[in-house]
Chains A and B, each alone.
Chain A
């Protein structure tokens, strides 16, 4: 680090700034016993004569150079008003750029005096308004903030702002400030569309409001949403027998495996299997030898396989691994055995037959489905063969059944074929009963299925009709059926059972599938009971909804009548005129049919009535949830008036606009999202309430020009700084408790937030805007025919690289100097390929850290391909753009715009006669160009070792060998990335740190910097140096500063100097060749 004694080196680093200007002056003038001269006095005595002698020649008169008329600054007040230009003057003096080389040069001491005076003047001014919170304007959320906020508000990353026009940036380059964010009718209309878009994702649950990843307006959307949640739940459950056998083995040898005090419960937890089911397995496998000896059949065989598992003795690590693999393989064998036995002995059912009604008729088919669902822990004794039985005959497999006919015979034949020749099913005739008991016990522990997640028409034959999640397997008509009893009984604990029941309940509530199924059945199938055939409707009921109880009961009775009728007295014609189903008067009505029919229709009626009631009872809960939503959206509690207003609007929508309950809630949500309380950030009502602790302002040296932000406003400020999003519950809780301004709480929250994954918002928005690549995801200026590797995936990976780098820095609280000097980077598969790094296996979201990135000429921000590409015009590199980016964006140096007439460089490097660097030599030859270009061209030339898409290269596109030598401003040479880094380290590091500090402060405060902010910058610098340059030290300094904690009173004490307009314009609108 640079250490400097006061007043010695002319490159006085910023560290001096903490010291009162007085000391600096004392270093020059001999010590005087009298009071040191004031700033004003020094101006007259030292500064004015200096500029008169060395500067007036150019910087005065009718046309002063650079429009900077030094003669006009007749007093300090005028200097203060134009302090940014005097700061620039100071830089130029320090860099010896001014006076220009050909003019008379002042002695070093005199130069230093003026330099120091400017600094002292700034410090004095800064002190005058120290702690001024500055003008932070009310502003709408930026597009990025809008999206992140919606993500956190709804739990779904809907991104409605993707269609918004791009946000303009303020002069510092950030788009999160009221200085640049405006509203217009066109944008407001988009806000309205976005609000409706988000509201379309809302789903009403029995208890409140939720949001789905997809719009929820259409029935199929709701079905998809609800069924996916259930199926995902199923798939997350541990249902592989092999896992349980393996866990049991680990428990058995727990001592040898180093866990002597493990319990079944802890073993289950470690193996991620059910703590409820594992003991059952354990008990079966480890039955006392005496009991076990009496076991027969599948249990005996399984126990034998269990006892044959390898034992675990003291083994070294490698033997342990092999053993584990071995054991696993054997457990899989055990599982396969269990699965086979159960497949061969599962019970089978067919629909009860009723004369004149197709067997696949819903009331009858559902009976069959219920039987299957409730008998999965039973074994079919008919699947066993006695050893005395005659040899088996291979069954004939009938064809697929026609529509509406019973699939059971085909399935029975298929099962018989699968069982054919299975010796495990052959039992000694004399011990038949014992064996049946064994099989039955086996089945009760090992169900043939834990759950059914899809079902086709030929269920349980699943060779056809794939992908029908949770379907009942009806032909054509929608229908769902729940079949997961073994999962509930054996695997899930109480919490899991509740959750699964809840998911099914919400499925019904959200999609109302029972009602819809019944209506479809009514309109497409119910005619069957009146002899009209399998695909026929009943006439629309008069004076009733189809789903009314009398209609349901009417059908119940019609089916009952058929089921109870005496077939011999039946008046149905011998063949129902139906191409799908032929009635057969010889069919005897199954005596169970009446029960099946009653269960079916009564079940439907009960469900419909229950859910009608649930919907009615849920309405007030939804209103409650709506109010909670509003409070979260507004990032503060609602007043009573606000609550009343929201409810009143809901009721207006219902009563006056005639909307349904759901529509009214949706539109209420849209209305909340349109409110300025949501989409604007306004720091209101900061008068501390009685409950709030008296705020403590840090490091103020004079009266603050503001008052503390309210807890809620501070919570928002913190969260939008660190997450670009709304505050979470914990932050709001502190705001409510009134202790968020307390330093310990504030810092604790800050540290927590920096560790939260949401910090990706900061990494993306700050870095993206600071380094000007925020829009890179849409970047299209690469000729993809010449650079076919530049695909959408590579572009996205390039975009992500610096973000992940910075996120890592934040998360691990690394030194911010890593940004320049880090020898590592992060890559995913496509980026690794681009960089020539070892293959990364995985998908686009698999990111790995590469520690020896230097081998591939990478490491830190500078050589990242996103910057090299964005700063190349397609078919050649642009050292000018790249150099400018380094010097202006990374190091923060201000550079004026180019003159209006600049000759073009060739577009295509491969077609140019000279290498780029030679063409740019003109920049250096012409003094008009050189005055600026000398400052940055060379940085870009050092990156000639990277081509137009940032690819490492030894030859340029015309085949010429690459020359990455650079001569840096102020002397010094270097080559390539290392050369740039070394130069920065020796000459520009402080500038980098200073620039970074300023950018971060602008970003955090949502406004451009004032002179009074210099003191915060000083503190940031000091804290940084004292903490190994760790990022958190900057954040902590910022959040504890009065600028961050307070807001201005409407009457500001002193108006600070405005920034020079000319300077402001230059900074961000630049087009460089």
Chain B
């Protein structure tokens, strides 16, 4: 059980500072604030949430867990999690009712993280996904409100069920009408996090208009000059703040180095797409890890293989594509594919567990949720979903358990109840989410 973190009164919340300064602007970083993670002043560490997705279900013969804590017994597919089993929860029997009874594939994936009723035909409409709900609430405190990654390109077009393939290609939805576009290129995901090109460009825009306003100022009457000065002052103010967000990146890196933390460092990935899927996934996991560690974001989602995936796993000695193999999901080959995906969860969780934070690790302050939209691919059965979570979410989540809701009744085994419970722990209290108005029992 992770130790609880102590509150520090010396720590100031950024929002309080902004309010006090009389500024109505929500800004991610201000240089006056100490970067968190300074071990001399323990504080409440931010909680992180990540979703990892595998398409088209698992091999149900090899997916099970029983017992708890050190006595937990993991099946073959879950065996990569053995060293971490005291920090995981294996949850069985939850489902998303909105995703049943409307046809296969896109309608089974489109509302996985939102529980919404999705729309057929030319109009794309789902609901805000749980990770984006969290990002909306906690995202202003970090440079990126969330990162949405995938190792497989989306498909456009329409499925034979007349649902858009967008539902199969995305799991994170920022508004009901638009999925968050997935970033498939590791180098670009990196740039979004660290280069923050958006703010760089804003600085250059502000520079230009500042110059222009100064030039104009010299040409106008003194009354007009006063009005333009108002403009100039505003430009300079905003520019200063946008600049400072970029300065802090260097600062926090420097701070980390000075404290001699085993800071996980990473080079910018090369441009282009890695040819080997193993490299691709690893890079994406590394990016999530470093993003969490440096608090550049607290919300991430990663599609390792999407619904209707066409990925290949020659290194697993499987000759069929992912989707084709899922129709033969009781095969050993598909078990290997499933286990490969679970080992990515193990990889990321291990990495986060190697980053000290306060008296625990980054993993202890996180919740990584691994799931698929189906249980049994060959039957397109999604009346229960494979789900395993890693991390204690800052002590709010008991770990090392196997939880089974198969016999709890449909009203008590909703995925959306789980989402409500997770959001509670992230400080977001909603009355309802998707099709759930109650939290998940026993969580």
Contacts and interface: CB of A to CB of B under 8 A. Distances in A.
A137 B223 contact: yes
B310 interface: yes
Contact of B310 (A219, A479, A523, A542): A523
Given A657-B201, A675-B212, A684-B219, A527 B121 contact: no
17 contacts: A137-B226, A183-B231, A189-B238, A192-B238, A403-B160, A456-B162, A465-B160, A466-B162, A475-B160, A478-B155, A520-B153, A536-B310, A536-B321, A540-B275, A579-B327, A674-B205, A680-B231
B432 to A, nearest CB: 23
B216 A682 contact: yes
B25 interface: yes
A476 B308 contact: yes
A1067 interface: no
A500 B310 CA distance: 37
Contact of B234 (A183, A539, A652): A183
Contacts of A524: 155, 310
Contacts of B204: 649, 652-653, 657, 671
B206 interface: yes
Contacts of A195: 205
Given A138-B227, A182-B230, A188 B238 contact: yes
A635 interface: no
B209 A185 contact: no
Interface in A643-663: 645, 649, 652-653, 657, 659
A535 B153 contact: no
A676 to B, nearest CB: 5
B157 A138 contact: no
Nearest to B162: A465
A537 B157 contact: no
A140 B231 contact: yes
A677 interface: yes
A691 interface: no
Interface of B: 23-25, 121-122, 124, 153, 155-160, 162, 165-166, 178, 181, 197, 200-202, 204-206, 208-209, 212-213, 216, 219-224, 226-228, 230-231, 233-235, 237-238, 241, 273, 275, 308, 310-312, 320-321, 323-324, 327
A467 B205 contact: no
A178 B157 contact: no
A657 B197 contact: yes
Nearest to B27: A189
A294 interface: no
Interface residues of A, number: 73
A524 to B, nearest CB: 5
B230 A536 contact: no
A537 B197 contact: no
B205 A536 contact: no
Given A478-B155, A537-B310, A676-B228, A467 B321 contact: no
B212 A677 contact: yes
B160 A457 contact: yes
Contacts of A187: 234
A1 interface: no
Given A476-B308, A579-B327, A682-B224, A674 B209 contact: yes
A223 interface: yes
Contacts of B155: 476-478, 520, 524
Contacts of B205: 192, 195, 667, 670-671, 674
Interface string A219-238: 11001000000000000000
A406 B275 CA distance: 35
A477 B157 contact: yes
A671 B223 contact: no
A685 B215 CA distance: 13
B337 to A, nearest CB: 15
Interface in A568-620: 577-579
A138 B324 contact: no
Contacts of B223: 135, 137-138
Given A520-B155, A676-B228, A684-B220, 19 more contacts: A137-B224, A185-B25, A185-B241, A189-B238, A220-B166, A466-B162, A467-B162, A476-B155, A476-B158, A476-B159, A478-B155, A520-B156, A524-B310, A536-B321, A539-B312, A645-B208, A671-B204, A676-B212, A684-B219
Taking each of B25, B122, B241, which has the highest tally of chain A beta carbons within 10 Å of its own beta carbon? B122
Contact of A137 (B208, B213, B227): B227
A932 interface: no
A195 B216 CA distance: 21
Contacts of B222: 1050
A532 interface: yes
B121 A466 contact: yes
A218 B181 contact: yes
Given A184-B234, A186-B23, A540-B275, A675 B209 contact: yes
A464 interface: yes
Interface in A519-541: 519-520, 523-524, 527, 532-533, 535-537, 539-540
A467 B121 contact: yes
Contacts of A475: 157, 159-160
Given A649-B208, A677-B212, A680-B228, A468 B324 contact: no
